[in-house]
Amino acid sequence: MKYALKHDTINLTRHIAKDIALIYMRRTNMGALKAAAIFSDNMVLQREKNISIWGTGKDGNTVTASINGDSADTLICEGRWQIDLPPMPAGGPYSLTVSDGTDSITFDNVMIGEVWLAGGQSNMEFEIKDSDGGQELLSTLKDVNVRYYYTPKIAYIDEEFEQKERNSGWSEFSEENAKHWSAVAFHCAKKLSEELDVTIGIIGCNWGGTSASAWMSREAILANTATRIYMDEYDEAVSKYTIDEHRKLWDEYLEYSRVWNEKLGEIYAKNPDTSWDDALEYAGESKYPGPKSPFNEMRPTGLYETMISRVCPYTLRGFLFYQGESDDHRPDVYYDLFSNLISEWRNDWDDEELPFLFVQLPMFAYENAPDTKHWAKVREAQLRVYKTVKNTWMALIPEYGTMDDIHPKVKKPVGDRLALLALNHVYGMDCKSDAPELDRFYIKGDEIHLLFRKTYGGLIVKSDRAEGFEISGDGENFHKADCSIMGNEIRIKSDKVSRPKFARYNWTNHGPVTIYNKAGIPLGGFRV
């Protein structure tokens, strides 16, 4: 295959994906019955919903799926089949059998429980073994009612694509199995399993460094005027080379990165305190994340095609999501990008009501870097999504952000806060899960009065004094403000602003977090 693309032609990856898909189809129509790779021994199926089972096989054959006395069947059409089994209560272990009269597949140790997809980039990907207390947790925990499916991290579709998928499968918790699981997703799932007394299944579908655009279709990105820049930039870059040229450039990048990482390991092995500048002087320039290419996992649409589409429409309770760091260069576009992602995923799963729980970015900045406010703007976009997109809930974790480290190692509170949101808003349990929210404000003299809800009895200061408020009369020149807290109300003023009109709180990439509600959940940044 060799393609030369122009600026206005369709995505090169689409061409490749279509060709490979046709190859698979021809093979499948002549071959044995198969279920999608996500179905395996030890899997968790969603309780109290129709259970979607799908796969490939020979046209004209009738496929029957059976579990615990329930069964359903369908005809294979154009090499594909999908069956919806009736809703079942929590329970197990069961065996699920799929048969077409000639071939039969049996999956054992299947549980019916709660299933969540954990998506995003590196902070969702961050593994238990590397998290704070993770090694001890792995070695001491026993009988954890959580199971995990790690969606194969496949950057592009090639002739080995199917085999890569076949190497995947669900696993039960053990010290060895769980060390590579998402720490955030695990802690969320563990708390849910304890409170709900059912097996929790997590579908890990994440990749570090990725923009939200990597997890969306071409159509969804181009449908919005604000977001189409992601696709336009990519198309322009890709159009400059043939597929063979792209392959060569990508292989060269991989080899350079291999050598570069070896050198980086050498310098840090000699001196763990080596500065980044000195490390680069020894190892050479970092070329991460590599060229814009149909082989680069960072490309727009790429992981939607190779990961999301491969696990959809596995029946879910909802989504967990932690992402936004890699879109901080376009904070003003993030609301459109993120809200469209939510809409597309729900549409793909054919359920506009699917709960979507996500983590707002914490405090973060590199020391001595200028405060661009870009992370504050991404947080604002995330807050707007929570306020405007139905069945979304946002976990706030500003206090767990770390200066100079974009990957905070403390993950248990993050997972716990997601779990509390789910228990409250998805499962209907009475628990204190929400962060304080600005309800309304008014101006009286030289003071701005801010009134909050979801304080669970009032706001408190967890520091020597409350910090982070600024006030302005023109919306441009802001000054630090003094504040007084009285129950659900905060009053702010500055002797430098006699007629205030604007206020903001923690409008910064990184800063102290001092104000909480009585449930111990912090107040997030905002501006009015």
Residue 119 token pair: 């998506």
Residue 375 token pair: 């992370």
Question: pTM for the whole thing?
Answer: 0.93
* pLDDT tens per residue across span 71-126: 999 999 999 999 999 999 999 999 999 999 999 999 999 999 999 999 999 999 99
Put residue 390 in one of left, alpha, beta given phi > 0 → left and psi -120 to 50 → alpha: beta
Residue 439 token pair: 């309800």
Name the stretches of the chain with pLDDT < 70: 1-31
| DSSP letter string, 213-243 | GGGS-HHHHHTSTTTHHHHHHHHHHHTTSBH
Q: What is the H or E stretch that residue 34 is in?
A: strand 34-35
52, 94, 184, 191 from 148: Cα distances, Å? 18, 17, 13, 15
CA 116 from chain centre, in angstroms, equals 11
Q: Indicate the residue type of 514.
A: T
Instruction: Round to whole Å and give the CA distance between 313 and 50.
Output: 11
pLDDT of residue 406: 94
User: In 3D, which of 29, 36, 84 has the Cα closest to residue 58?
Assistant: 29
User: In 3D, which of 61, 47, 42 has the Cα closest to residue 110?
Assistant: 42
340-359 in b/e burial notation, b at 16+ Cβ within 10 A? bbbbbbbebbebeebbbbbb
pLDDT of residue 163: 87
Beta bridge partners of 201: 115, 147
Instruction: Round to whole Å and give the CA distance between 417 and 184.
Output: 10
Task: Provide the CB-side half-sphere exposure for 254 (13 A, CA).
Answer: 11
Tell me the pairing of strands 170-172 and 146-150.
antiparallel
pLDDT of residue 59: 95
Tell me the pairing of strands 478-480 and 526-527.
unpaired
Query: Phi, psi at residue 37, to the nearest 5°?
Result: -60, -25
Instruction: Round to whole Å and give the CA distance between 469 and 472.
Output: 10
Measured torsion, CA atoms of residues 102, 107, 112, 113, in degrees rounded to the nearest 10: -130
Question: Position of tokens 């998402």?
Answer: 182
pLDDT of residue 6: 31
Q: Indicate the residue type of 301.
A: T
Q: What is the DSSP letter of 414?
A: H
pLDDT of residue 367: 86
Question: Position of tokens 């919005």?
Answer: 224
Helix extents (H) in 328-411: 334-348, 374-388
Q: What is the DSSP letter of 304?
A: I
Tell me the pairing of strands 469-472 and 478-480.
antiparallel
